[in-house]
Structure 1
Amino acid sequence: MTIYFVGAGVGGVDYLTVKAHGLITRADVIIYDALADSQILDLAPAHCLKVDVGKRGGRVSTSQQKINQMLVDYGLQYSLVIRLKSGDPGIFGRLHPELEAIAPYNISYELIPGISSVLAAPLWAGMSLTEKHQGRHFAVVSGHDPDVLDWSILASIDTLVILMGARNLPLIIDYLLGCDRSSDSSIIIIKNAGRKDQQIWQGNLSNMMDQVQGISLSPCVIVISNIIS
């Protein structure tokens, strides 16, 4: 009996790793997050139990405690259980509490990486995260609670990738400008990265809010960069 913590990647079935694809086709249970493409679940065998525990900001969702208990219950009962997470399991995937939950029961597990929107979304928007002279480093942060971040440091990073930041976009921009980030810094917002309804907005810190005023941006990836495309 093994639980596989699998990264579903971004986009459709084509962006699954070969190992993830093979596991899904043999799964007894799949406990899955909100996925970029529901067709991934169609790969599962007919007998597979599929349990939706996806979280979306501002919506009613399954508690982490309940997800933890599901992993224990199904992990003790079935041979091949998949905890399917959007992107990569180790990037804002609440992996640690789930591993802690199954640890006392000696349930074996394996971690299967996936392509994260951190890497894929900027590329789909035509942006490199790094360049030899303009982008020597990049950082990835959650925009869920910007008040706890050190913006004096983040404002100096060549390329900044922000997940879960749609609701706090005005505050994030204010923090960056307040820490002397240039108002001409490029900002790209990629909504629904990898989906058929993907949308991209491109501008700078001084004009982006005018472009997206009144638009629901979640889920999105926000990229602020010094790189001139």
Structure 2
Amino acid sequence: MGKVYLVGAGPGDPELLTLKAHRILKEADVVLYDALINREILRFTKPDCLKIYVGKRDGEHSLPQEEINELLYRFSRSYKIVVRLKGGDPFVFGRGGEELLYLREKGVEVEVVPGITSAVAAPSSTSIPVTHRGIASSFAVVTGHPNRGINWENFAKVDTLVILMGVKNRREIAKELIRAGRDPNEPVAFIEKATTPEQREVFTTLRELAQNPPEVNPPAVMVVGEVVEITYFNKDLIFQQDKLY
């Protein structure tokens, strides 16, 4: 029986792939890859590597998760190195945990290769720090999927919110955050296709987003918090040098 690697492909730029991920891809016999990975990364595989698309985008799944799990198991019985290649990090809204548990229950050896998550890379790519001394000492990463039943009151006092998969539901998210007690004037940034040549930034406020949302195209990361002002609003920030986060 072979080994399965759950590999994070990073946020988009192939140069942000880790050295370990690069090495494993060069050795892989099979790669099952997601929709959000940069296809240039697949060029790192050897010529006879079997590459299978199993992506999910906005409710359209090429394969149900249960079938992906079964494919990984079946390939592990016939090939030495099987890679499950995921955008960002395998354990940040990537169902990597489900695949890990399924394979381990089947007796398959699994190794997780962390990747740079877009939750941090997207804001960083446009000079937005998710934490900043005197401004933001906490941040949370939340799914914006409309079917997940998020209690937004739990995030009313988190300094910086990073919302993934929230483009389609962005107006309702803004309304919920305002109802939960966040300042309607709080700045919001969307970073489309972060770390790629097609990267585009859109910025607004929670109030504007709730009333007249700007056009945003997925995939995009949504950032809510005062840290957005560092880049986009050129606000004069007062730093509390003795306040550590």
TM-score calculated relative to the size of structure 1: 0.94
What is the CA-CA distance between 1:221 and the residue it aligns to? 0.6
- 1:30-64 Cα shifts (integer Å, max 9, x gaps): 00111341110011001100000011004342110
CA distance in 2, matches of 1:39, 1:14: 10
Report the number of matched residues: 227
Residue 62 of structure 2 is matched in structure 1 by 61
Equivalent AA in structure 2 for residue 12 of structure 1: D
SS of the residue corresponding to residue 74 of structure 2 reads helix
CA distance in 1, matches of 2:144, 2:90: 18
Residue 30 of structure 1 is matched in structure 2 by 31
What is the CA-CA distance between 1:96 and the residue it aligns to? 2.2
Alignment of 1:41-120 (within 5 A): 41-120=42-121
Equivalent AA in structure 1 for residue 217 of structure 2: L
Is the 2:10–2:89 contact (alpha carbons within 8 Å) kept by the matching residues of 1? yes
**Residues 105, 146 of structure 1: alpha-carbon distance in 2 compared, 3 angstrom cutoff:** closer
SS of the residue corresponding to residue 81 of structure 1 reads strand
Residue 167 of structure 1 is matched in structure 2 by 168
Stretches of structure 2 that go unaligned for 5 or more consecutive residues are 231-245
CA distance in 2, matches of 1:42, 1:17: 15
Stretches of structure 1 that go unaligned for 5 or more consecutive residues are none
RMSD of equivalent CA atoms? 1.6
Alignment of 1:204-219 (within 5 A): 204-208=205-209, 210=212, 212=214, 215=215, 217-219=217-219
What is the CA-CA distance between 1:26 and the residue it aligns to? 1.0
- 1:89-115 Cα shifts (integer Å, max 9, x gaps): 110111122123222331111110000
CA distance in 1, matches of 2:193, 2:207: 24
CA distance in 1, matches of 2:199, 2:45: 26
Taking every aligned residue pair, what percent have the same amino acid on both sides?
36
What is the CA-CA distance between 1:135 and the residue it aligns to? 0.4
What is the CA-CA distance between 1:147 and the residue it aligns to? 6.7
TM-score calculated relative to the size of structure 2: 0.88
